[in-house]
Structure 1
Amino acid sequence: VISELLRLEHRRSTETSESRTALQGQITALQGQVTALQAQGLARDSTHPEPLEEAGGST
C-alpha cells in the first residue's frame, strides 16, 4: 500500500512539474506578444501623437 502511494505521489509530482513548465512557456510567449503589441503601439503613437477625434463627437 505504501509503495503504491509513493508511486502515485511521484507521478503527481511529475505531472505538476510538467504543467509548471508548460505554463512558464505560455507566459514567455504571452510576454513576447505583449512586447510586440507595445512596440506597434509606440510606433503608431510616434506617427500620430494625438488621437483623432471621432466625427460628430463634439455635438
Structure 2
Amino acid sequence: MTVDNGVRVVAGCILLLSLLLTAWVHPGFVWLSVFVGVNLIQSAFTGFCPAAMILKRMGLT
C-alpha cells in the first residue's frame, strides 16, 4: 500500500468513527470530522500531511 492510499484509509476510518461517535455519544464529535476535512484540504495545497509522515515512519512507501 502506498502512503497516499494509507492516508485515504486513515482519513476515511476517522471520519466514520467520528460520525458514529457524533450519533451515539455526543454531537461535539462532529468537530473531529471537520478537523479531518480541513487537514485534507490544507495538505492538498501545502503538501504537508502529518498522517503521511506517520505512515512513512511506519514503513509504507
Ranked by relative contact order (alpha carbons within 8 Å, sequence separation 6 or more), the top structure is 2
Greater C-alpha Rg: 1
Please tell me the TM-score bracket, short chain as reference: 0.3 to 0.5
More helix per residue: 2
TM-score (norm 1): 0.40
